[in-house]
Structure 1
Amino acid sequence: MAAAARLFRDAADPDSVKMADIAQAAGAGKGTVFRHFSDRTGLLKALVVEETRQLREQVLHGPPPLGPGAPAEERLPALLSALLDLKLNQRALMLALERAGAGSPYLNPTYDLWHSEVAGMLSGVHGDAAADYLAHALLAAVRGDLVEHLTGQGADPDELHEGLRRLCGSVLAHRADGTV
Protein backbone atom coordinates (compact mmCIF):
# COMPACT_ATOMS: atom_id res chain seq x y z
CA MET A 1 0.00 0.00 0.00
CA ALA A 2 2.78 2.42 0.89
CA ALA A 3 4.60 1.75 -2.38
CA ALA A 4 1.41 2.22 -4.41
CA ALA A 5 0.54 5.43 -2.54
CA ARG A 6 4.02 6.80 -3.23
CA LEU A 7 3.87 5.91 -6.93
CA PHE A 8 0.48 7.59 -7.35
CA ARG A 9 1.57 10.63 -5.33
CA ASP A 10 4.60 11.07 -7.61
CA ALA A 11 2.82 10.27 -10.90
CA ALA A 12 2.10 12.97 -13.44
CA ASP A 13 -0.32 10.63 -15.21
CA PRO A 14 -2.37 8.14 -13.18
CA ASP A 15 -2.48 5.72 -16.11
CA SER A 16 1.31 5.42 -15.99
CA VAL A 17 1.17 3.56 -12.66
CA LYS A 18 0.95 -0.13 -13.50
CA MET A 19 0.45 -3.10 -11.19
CA ALA A 20 3.89 -4.41 -12.20
CA ASP A 21 5.45 -1.09 -11.09
CA ILE A 22 3.64 -1.30 -7.77
CA ALA A 23 4.76 -4.89 -7.22
CA GLN A 24 8.36 -3.99 -8.03
CA ALA A 25 8.33 -0.93 -5.74
CA ALA A 26 6.87 -3.07 -2.94
CA GLY A 27 9.41 -5.84 -3.47
CA ALA A 28 6.63 -8.31 -4.23
CA GLY A 29 5.59 -10.36 -7.20
CA LYS A 30 2.88 -9.07 -9.50
CA GLY A 31 0.79 -12.16 -8.73
CA THR A 32 0.96 -11.39 -5.01
CA VAL A 33 -0.42 -7.91 -5.59
CA PHE A 34 -3.23 -9.28 -7.78
CA ARG A 35 -4.09 -11.99 -5.22
CA HIS A 36 -4.36 -9.38 -2.47
CA PHE A 37 -6.37 -6.77 -4.41
CA SER A 38 -7.78 -8.89 -7.29
CA ASP A 39 -7.33 -6.02 -9.78
CA ARG A 40 -6.19 -2.42 -10.18
CA THR A 41 -9.62 -1.10 -9.18
CA GLY A 42 -9.48 -3.08 -5.93
CA LEU A 43 -6.09 -1.57 -5.20
CA LEU A 44 -7.33 1.94 -6.02
CA LYS A 45 -10.34 1.55 -3.72
CA ALA A 46 -8.13 0.30 -0.90
CA LEU A 47 -5.74 3.22 -1.37
CA VAL A 48 -8.57 5.76 -1.36
CA VAL A 49 -9.96 4.25 1.84
CA GLU A 50 -6.52 4.56 3.42
CA GLU A 51 -5.83 8.07 2.10
CA THR A 52 -9.21 9.32 3.35
CA ARG A 53 -9.10 7.63 6.76
CA GLN A 54 -8.18 10.78 8.70
CA LEU A 55 -10.75 12.95 6.92
CA ARG A 56 -13.47 10.34 7.43
CA GLU A 57 -12.65 10.25 11.15
CA GLN A 58 -12.85 14.06 11.37
CA VAL A 59 -16.20 14.11 9.57
CA LEU A 60 -17.72 11.37 11.70
CA HIS A 61 -16.25 12.15 15.13
CA GLY A 62 -14.21 15.34 14.98
CA PRO A 63 -14.94 18.81 16.22
CA PRO A 64 -16.77 21.41 14.16
CA PRO A 65 -16.71 22.62 11.50
CA LEU A 66 -16.02 19.21 9.89
CA GLY A 67 -17.47 17.11 12.66
CA PRO A 68 -21.06 16.65 13.73
CA GLY A 69 -22.74 19.51 15.50
CA ALA A 70 -21.66 22.34 13.23
CA PRO A 71 -24.45 24.12 11.35
CA ALA A 72 -24.72 23.21 7.66
CA GLU A 73 -23.64 26.75 6.71
CA GLU A 74 -20.24 26.00 8.28
CA ARG A 75 -19.96 22.26 7.85
CA LEU A 76 -20.86 21.96 4.15
CA PRO A 77 -18.19 24.36 2.86
CA ALA A 78 -15.66 22.89 5.30
CA LEU A 79 -16.29 19.36 4.01
CA LEU A 80 -16.20 20.34 0.34
CA SER A 81 -13.05 22.39 0.92
CA ALA A 82 -11.40 19.40 2.62
CA LEU A 83 -12.42 17.18 -0.30
CA LEU A 84 -11.03 19.72 -2.76
CA ASP A 85 -7.72 19.71 -0.88
CA LEU A 86 -7.74 15.91 -0.98
CA LYS A 87 -8.27 15.95 -4.76
CA LEU A 88 -5.51 18.54 -5.21
CA ASN A 89 -3.06 16.62 -3.01
CA GLN A 90 -3.93 13.12 -4.29
CA ARG A 91 -4.55 14.09 -7.90
CA ALA A 92 -3.29 10.98 -9.68
CA LEU A 93 -4.90 8.53 -7.26
CA MET A 94 -8.29 10.23 -7.38
CA LEU A 95 -8.20 10.50 -11.17
CA ALA A 96 -7.21 6.83 -11.44
CA LEU A 97 -10.23 5.77 -9.37
CA GLU A 98 -12.59 8.00 -11.34
CA ARG A 99 -11.30 6.52 -14.60
CA ALA A 100 -11.50 2.93 -13.41
CA GLY A 101 -14.79 2.12 -15.17
CA ALA A 102 -16.52 -0.45 -13.00
CA GLY A 103 -14.75 1.11 -10.05
CA SER A 104 -16.82 4.26 -10.37
CA PRO A 105 -16.22 6.74 -7.55
CA TYR A 106 -19.99 6.62 -6.99
CA LEU A 107 -19.75 2.94 -6.09
CA ASN A 108 -17.42 2.98 -3.12
CA PRO A 109 -17.93 3.36 0.63
CA THR A 110 -15.95 6.60 0.83
CA TYR A 111 -18.20 8.32 -1.71
CA ASP A 112 -21.23 6.92 0.10
CA LEU A 113 -20.03 8.59 3.31
CA TRP A 114 -19.47 11.98 1.64
CA HIS A 115 -22.86 11.76 -0.08
CA SER A 116 -24.65 10.74 3.10
CA GLU A 117 -23.10 13.57 5.09
CA VAL A 118 -23.81 16.23 2.44
CA ALA A 119 -27.37 14.98 1.87
CA GLY A 120 -27.94 15.04 5.63
CA MET A 121 -26.82 18.66 5.79
CA LEU A 122 -29.15 19.58 2.94
CA SER A 123 -32.25 17.59 3.90
CA GLY A 124 -33.38 20.10 6.51
CA VAL A 125 -33.18 22.86 3.94
CA HIS A 126 -34.44 21.11 0.79
CA GLY A 127 -36.18 17.91 1.88
CA ASP A 128 -34.83 14.40 1.42
CA ALA A 129 -35.54 13.95 -2.30
CA ALA A 130 -33.90 17.20 -3.37
CA ALA A 131 -31.05 16.72 -0.89
CA ASP A 132 -30.05 13.44 -2.53
CA TYR A 133 -29.62 15.03 -5.96
CA LEU A 134 -28.05 18.22 -4.62
CA ALA A 135 -25.51 16.20 -2.65
CA HIS A 136 -24.41 14.43 -5.85
CA ALA A 137 -24.28 17.77 -7.69
CA LEU A 138 -22.17 19.42 -4.98
CA LEU A 139 -19.79 16.46 -4.84
CA ALA A 140 -19.41 16.68 -8.62
CA ALA A 141 -17.86 20.11 -8.01
CA VAL A 142 -14.89 18.40 -6.36
CA ARG A 143 -14.47 15.48 -8.76
CA GLY A 144 -10.85 14.87 -9.60
CA ASP A 145 -11.39 15.24 -13.34
CA LEU A 146 -13.01 18.67 -12.91
CA VAL A 147 -10.30 19.82 -10.50
CA GLU A 148 -7.66 18.59 -12.96
CA HIS A 149 -9.35 20.42 -15.84
CA LEU A 150 -9.67 23.68 -13.93
CA THR A 151 -6.12 23.67 -12.58
CA GLY A 152 -4.88 22.75 -16.06
CA GLN A 153 -6.68 25.85 -17.33
CA GLY A 154 -4.78 27.93 -14.78
CA ALA A 155 -7.30 28.11 -11.94
CA ASP A 156 -5.65 28.78 -8.62
CA PRO A 157 -6.67 26.54 -5.69
CA ASP A 158 -7.77 29.65 -3.78
CA GLU A 159 -10.17 30.47 -6.64
CA LEU A 160 -11.56 26.94 -6.50
CA HIS A 161 -12.09 27.22 -2.75
CA GLU A 162 -13.86 30.56 -3.18
CA GLY A 163 -16.09 29.11 -5.87
CA LEU A 164 -17.03 26.22 -3.59
CA ARG A 165 -17.80 28.60 -0.74
CA ARG A 166 -20.14 30.59 -3.00
CA LEU A 167 -21.76 27.45 -4.39
CA CYS A 168 -22.47 26.14 -0.89
CA GLY A 169 -23.87 29.50 0.17
CA SER A 170 -26.15 29.60 -2.84
CA VAL A 171 -27.46 26.07 -2.35
CA LEU A 172 -28.08 26.65 1.35
CA ALA A 173 -29.68 30.08 0.84
CA HIS A 174 -32.45 28.88 -1.45
CA ARG A 175 -34.93 26.80 0.51
CA ALA A 176 -37.27 24.18 -0.94
CA ASP A 177 -40.27 26.47 -0.45
CA GLY A 178 -38.65 29.16 -2.60
CA THR A 179 -37.70 31.45 0.28
CA VAL A 180 -34.21 32.78 0.68
Structure 2
Amino acid sequence: MTRHTDLLAGQANAPAPAPTERADAARNRAKVLAAAAELFAARDPRTVTMDDIAKTAGVGRGTLYRRYPDTNSIAVALLDEHERALQERLIGGAPPLGPGAPPAARLAAFYAAMIELLDGHADLVLGAETGGARFATGAYGFWYAHVRALLREGGIREPDALVDPLLAPLAAEVYRQQRGRGLTSAQISDALGHLARSVFERGHG
Protein backbone atom coordinates (compact mmCIF):
# COMPACT_ATOMS: atom_id res chain seq x y z
CA MET A 1 0.00 0.00 0.00
CA THR A 2 2.69 2.46 -1.00
CA ARG A 3 1.42 3.87 -4.29
CA HIS A 4 -1.94 5.43 -3.33
CA THR A 5 -0.97 9.06 -3.88
CA ASP A 6 0.53 8.25 -7.27
CA LEU A 7 -2.61 6.33 -8.21
CA LEU A 8 -4.82 9.27 -7.31
CA ALA A 9 -2.74 11.59 -9.47
CA GLY A 10 -3.05 9.18 -12.38
CA GLN A 11 0.71 8.75 -12.46
CA ALA A 12 1.13 5.27 -11.09
CA ASN A 13 4.57 3.85 -11.64
CA ALA A 14 5.05 0.20 -12.45
CA PRO A 15 5.81 -1.60 -9.20
CA ALA A 16 9.19 -3.21 -8.81
CA PRO A 17 9.11 -6.97 -9.36
CA ALA A 18 8.29 -8.71 -6.10
CA PRO A 19 10.89 -11.15 -4.81
CA THR A 20 10.01 -14.78 -5.31
CA GLU A 21 8.27 -16.17 -2.25
CA ARG A 22 9.28 -19.61 -1.03
CA ALA A 23 6.51 -22.18 -1.02
CA ASP A 24 6.65 -22.66 2.76
CA ALA A 25 6.59 -18.89 3.32
CA ALA A 26 3.56 -18.58 1.04
CA ARG A 27 1.76 -21.34 2.95
CA ASN A 28 2.51 -19.66 6.27
CA ARG A 29 1.32 -16.29 4.97
CA ALA A 30 -1.94 -17.83 3.77
CA LYS A 31 -2.45 -19.54 7.15
CA VAL A 32 -1.76 -16.31 9.04
CA LEU A 33 -4.18 -14.26 6.93
CA ALA A 34 -6.90 -16.90 7.16
CA ALA A 35 -6.49 -17.17 10.93
CA ALA A 36 -6.54 -13.40 11.37
CA ALA A 37 -9.65 -13.02 9.22
CA GLU A 38 -11.40 -15.68 11.30
CA LEU A 39 -10.45 -14.04 14.60
CA PHE A 40 -11.30 -10.51 13.47
CA ALA A 41 -14.74 -11.68 12.36
CA ALA A 42 -15.40 -13.73 15.50
CA ARG A 43 -14.83 -11.01 18.10
CA ASP A 44 -13.84 -7.40 18.61
CA PRO A 45 -10.69 -7.04 16.44
CA ARG A 46 -9.15 -4.73 19.02
CA THR A 47 -8.86 -7.66 21.43
CA VAL A 48 -7.04 -9.96 18.98
CA THR A 49 -3.35 -10.40 19.80
CA MET A 50 -0.42 -11.63 17.77
CA ASP A 51 -0.27 -14.68 20.05
CA ASP A 52 -3.89 -15.45 19.20
CA ILE A 53 -3.14 -15.29 15.49
CA ALA A 54 0.02 -17.39 15.75
CA LYS A 55 -1.78 -20.06 17.77
CA THR A 56 -4.80 -20.20 15.43
CA ALA A 57 -2.57 -20.26 12.34
CA GLY A 58 -0.33 -22.94 13.81
CA VAL A 59 2.86 -20.95 13.22
CA GLY A 60 5.59 -19.78 15.57
CA ARG A 61 5.78 -16.24 16.89
CA GLY A 62 9.05 -15.69 15.05
CA THR A 63 7.48 -16.73 11.76
CA LEU A 64 4.61 -14.33 12.34
CA TYR A 65 6.73 -11.35 13.39
CA ARG A 66 9.16 -11.76 10.51
CA ARG A 67 6.36 -10.81 8.12
CA TYR A 68 3.98 -8.70 10.22
CA PRO A 69 5.02 -6.36 13.06
CA ASP A 70 1.55 -6.12 14.62
CA THR A 71 -2.14 -6.96 14.20
CA ASN A 72 -2.78 -3.68 12.41
CA SER A 73 -0.45 -4.64 9.58
CA ILE A 74 -2.22 -8.00 9.19
CA ALA A 75 -5.62 -6.30 8.97
CA VAL A 76 -4.21 -3.85 6.43
CA ALA A 77 -2.93 -6.75 4.32
CA LEU A 78 -6.37 -8.36 4.37
CA LEU A 79 -8.05 -5.08 3.40
CA ASP A 80 -5.63 -4.16 0.66
CA GLU A 81 -7.38 -5.96 -2.20
CA HIS A 82 -10.78 -4.45 -1.40
CA GLU A 83 -9.41 -0.94 -0.93
CA ARG A 84 -7.39 -1.06 -4.13
CA ALA A 85 -10.49 -2.02 -6.11
CA LEU A 86 -12.30 1.03 -4.75
CA GLN A 87 -9.29 3.25 -5.45
CA GLU A 88 -9.23 2.17 -9.07
CA ARG A 89 -12.94 3.03 -9.40
CA LEU A 90 -12.28 6.50 -7.95
CA ILE A 91 -9.49 7.09 -10.46
CA GLY A 92 -10.96 5.67 -13.65
CA GLY A 93 -14.45 4.37 -12.98
CA ALA A 94 -17.77 5.68 -14.21
CA PRO A 95 -19.18 8.86 -12.65
CA PRO A 96 -20.37 9.86 -10.15
CA LEU A 97 -17.80 7.77 -8.23
CA GLY A 98 -15.22 8.24 -10.95
CA PRO A 99 -14.24 11.44 -12.79
CA GLY A 100 -16.79 13.46 -14.70
CA ALA A 101 -19.40 14.33 -12.06
CA PRO A 102 -19.67 17.48 -9.92
CA PRO A 103 -17.67 17.36 -6.66
CA ALA A 104 -20.78 17.11 -4.46
CA ALA A 105 -22.04 14.09 -6.40
CA ARG A 106 -18.61 12.46 -6.31
CA LEU A 107 -18.29 12.96 -2.54
CA ALA A 108 -21.76 11.49 -1.99
CA ALA A 109 -20.83 8.51 -4.19
CA PHE A 110 -17.58 8.08 -2.28
CA TYR A 111 -19.50 7.96 0.99
CA ALA A 112 -21.87 5.34 -0.41
CA ALA A 113 -18.96 3.23 -1.67
CA MET A 114 -17.18 3.43 1.67
CA ILE A 115 -20.32 2.36 3.54
CA GLU A 116 -20.55 -0.58 1.14
CA LEU A 117 -16.94 -1.44 1.99
CA LEU A 118 -17.71 -1.23 5.71
CA ASP A 119 -20.77 -3.42 5.23
CA GLY A 120 -18.57 -6.25 4.08
CA HIS A 121 -15.35 -5.63 5.97
CA ALA A 122 -15.94 -3.50 9.09
CA ASP A 123 -14.12 -6.05 11.22
CA LEU A 124 -10.97 -5.72 9.10
CA VAL A 125 -11.21 -1.94 9.00
CA LEU A 126 -11.54 -1.85 12.77
CA GLY A 127 -8.54 -4.15 13.10
CA ALA A 128 -6.49 -1.89 10.84
CA GLU A 129 -7.47 1.18 12.86
CA THR A 130 -6.71 -0.23 16.32
CA GLY A 131 -4.78 2.13 18.54
CA GLY A 132 -5.36 5.20 16.39
CA ALA A 133 -3.52 3.67 13.44
CA ARG A 134 -6.23 4.86 11.06
CA PHE A 135 -4.40 8.06 10.14
CA ALA A 136 -1.15 6.25 9.37
CA THR A 137 -2.52 3.79 6.81
CA GLY A 138 -1.87 4.29 3.14
CA ALA A 139 -5.58 3.94 2.45
CA TYR A 140 -6.41 6.88 4.72
CA GLY A 141 -3.84 8.95 2.86
CA PHE A 142 -5.56 8.06 -0.39
CA TRP A 143 -9.05 8.93 0.90
CA TYR A 144 -7.65 12.18 2.32
CA ALA A 145 -6.13 13.18 -1.02
CA HIS A 146 -9.34 12.31 -2.87
CA VAL A 147 -11.64 14.32 -0.60
CA ARG A 148 -9.23 17.25 -0.53
CA ALA A 149 -9.12 17.29 -4.34
CA LEU A 150 -12.93 17.36 -4.49
CA LEU A 151 -13.09 20.24 -2.01
CA ARG A 152 -10.53 22.23 -3.99
CA GLU A 153 -12.35 21.54 -7.24
CA GLY A 154 -15.56 22.75 -5.63
CA GLY A 155 -13.98 26.02 -4.53
CA ILE A 156 -14.27 25.31 -0.81
CA ARG A 157 -12.36 27.75 1.36
CA GLU A 158 -9.83 26.18 3.78
CA PRO A 159 -10.26 22.63 2.42
CA ASP A 160 -7.50 21.20 4.60
CA ALA A 161 -9.50 21.97 7.74
CA LEU A 162 -12.48 20.00 6.44
CA VAL A 163 -10.97 16.77 5.15
CA ASP A 164 -10.52 14.90 8.44
CA PRO A 165 -13.98 15.91 9.74
CA LEU A 166 -15.54 14.69 6.49
CA LEU A 167 -13.72 11.36 6.79
CA ALA A 168 -14.56 10.95 10.49
CA PRO A 169 -18.05 9.44 9.85
CA LEU A 170 -16.33 6.61 7.96
CA ALA A 171 -14.38 5.36 10.97
CA ALA A 172 -15.27 1.74 11.65
CA GLU A 173 -16.17 2.51 15.26
CA VAL A 174 -18.67 5.16 14.16
CA TYR A 175 -20.18 2.82 11.58
CA ARG A 176 -20.55 -0.04 14.05
CA GLN A 177 -22.05 2.28 16.66
CA GLN A 178 -24.65 3.50 14.18
CA ARG A 179 -25.53 -0.01 13.04
CA GLY A 180 -25.77 -1.06 16.68
CA ARG A 181 -28.36 1.68 17.21
CA GLY A 182 -30.48 0.16 14.47
CA LEU A 183 -29.59 2.39 11.53
CA THR A 184 -29.41 0.65 8.16
CA SER A 185 -26.59 1.08 5.68
CA ALA A 186 -28.98 2.90 3.35
CA GLN A 187 -29.90 5.38 6.06
CA ILE A 188 -26.25 6.07 6.84
CA SER A 189 -25.39 6.51 3.15
CA ASP A 190 -28.35 8.84 2.60
CA ALA A 191 -27.35 10.99 5.58
CA LEU A 192 -23.76 11.22 4.40
CA GLY A 193 -24.93 12.09 0.90
CA HIS A 194 -26.91 14.97 2.38
CA LEU A 195 -23.79 16.05 4.27
CA ALA A 196 -21.76 15.99 1.05
CA ARG A 197 -24.23 18.17 -0.80
CA SER A 198 -24.51 20.58 2.14
CA VAL A 199 -20.74 21.11 2.22
CA PHE A 200 -20.72 22.38 -1.35
CA GLU A 201 -23.94 24.37 -1.04
CA ARG A 202 -22.73 26.30 1.99
CA GLY A 203 -18.96 26.07 1.87
CA HIS A 204 -18.12 28.83 -0.56
CA GLY A 205 -17.16 32.34 0.34
Residue equivalent to 2:95: 64
CA deviation string 1:97-116 (max 9, x = no partner): 22234xx2111211011011
Cα distance, 1:40 vs structure 2: 1.9
Instruction: Supply the RMSD in Å over aligned alpha carbons.
Output: 2.1
Q: Distance in 2 between matches of 1:27 and 1:149?
A: 33
Residue equivalent to 1:122: 151
Cα distance, 1:161 vs structure 2: 1.0
> Which stretch of structure 1 is more off in the superposition, 87-96 or 163-172?
87-96
Cα distance, 1:58 vs structure 2: 1.2
TM-score normalised by the chain length of structure 1:
0.84
Q: Against the structure 1 CA distance between its residues 176 and 61, is the aligned structure 2 distance closer, same or farther, given a 3 Å change threshold? A: same
> Which stretch of structure 1 is more off in the superposition, 60-69 or 112-121?
60-69
Q: Out of 135, 138, 150, which is 2:166 matched to?
A: 138
Residue equivalent to 1:170: 198
Q: Where does 1:37-56 land on structure 2 (aligned, <5 Å)?
A: 37-56=68-87
Q: Out of 174, 177, 187, which is 1:159 matched to?
A: 187
TM-score normalised by the chain length of structure 2:
0.75
> Which stretch of structure 1 is more off in the superposition, 44-53 or 111-120?
44-53
Cα distance, 1:79 vs structure 2: 0.8
Q: Against the structure 1 CA distance between its residues 24 and 53, is the aligned structure 2 distance closer, same or farther, given a 3 Å change threshold? A: farther
Q: Against the structure 1 CA distance between its residues 122 and 8, is the aligned structure 2 distance closer, same or farther, given a 3 Å change threshold? A: farther
Q: Distance in 1 between matches of 2:146 and 2:115?
A: 16
Assess if the C-alpha contact under 8 Å between 1:3 and 1:22 holds in 2. no
Letter in 2 for 1:110: A
Q: Distance in 2 between matches of 1:38 and 1:78?
A: 34
> Which stretch of structure 1 is more off in the superposition, 34-43 or 12-21?
12-21
Assess if the C-alpha contact under 8 Å between 1:11 and 1:17 holds in 2. no
Structure 1 gaps of 5+ residues are none
Q: Out of 78, 97, 114, which is 2:109 matched to?
A: 78
> Which stretch of structure 1 is more off in the superposition, 61-70 or 147-156?
61-70
Q: Against the structure 1 CA distance between its residues 164 and 5, is the aligned structure 2 distance closer, same or farther, given a 3 Å change threshold? A: farther
